[in-house]
Amino acid sequence: MALNKRDSPDREAAESLAIQALAYLAGEPERLGRFLALSGLGPEQVRRAAAEPGFLAGVLEYLSSEESLLLGFAEHVRVAPAEISRAQAALSDHRCEREIP
């Protein structure tokens, strides 16, 4: 998946990338276990949490917090690490807009 490098990714592309990131984390028990421990979620809660505003942005933020994890995922999905950051920002911006009454 390639995101436009000049513009922020649209929400759909950002969500797609975040879902791929979640699948990447789930692909290895140790990666998933660390994510679940830090997020406070149990395995049975992930599906429900994924529908909550901000969860997908949090997945990308988690990936971005550890360089080796970020680079491994970027290589796995063949995108530049900066595209992951832009997707996270796009999802975070959308979340903030939804919270404003």
Which pTM was predicted? 0.79
Q: What is the pLDDT of residues 21-39, one digit of tens each?
A: 999 999 999 999 999 999 9
Q: Give the chain's mean pLDDT.
A: 84
The 3-state secondary structure of the chain, one letter per residue? CCCCCCCCCCHHHHHHHHHHHHHHHHCCHHHHHHHHHHHCCCHHHHHHHCCCCCHHHHHHHHHHCCHHHHHHHHHHHCCCHHHHHHHHHHHHHHHHHHHCC
Binned at pLDDT 50, 70 and 90, residue 20 comes out as very high
- Where do the domains of the chain lie? 11-99
Please determine, for residue 94, whether its predicted confidence score (pLDDT) is greater than 70: no
Q: What are phi and psi of 81, to 5 degrees?
A: -55, -35
Please determine, for residue 76, whether its predicted confidence score (pLDDT) is greater than 90: yes
Binned at pLDDT 50, 70 and 90, residue 80 comes out as very high
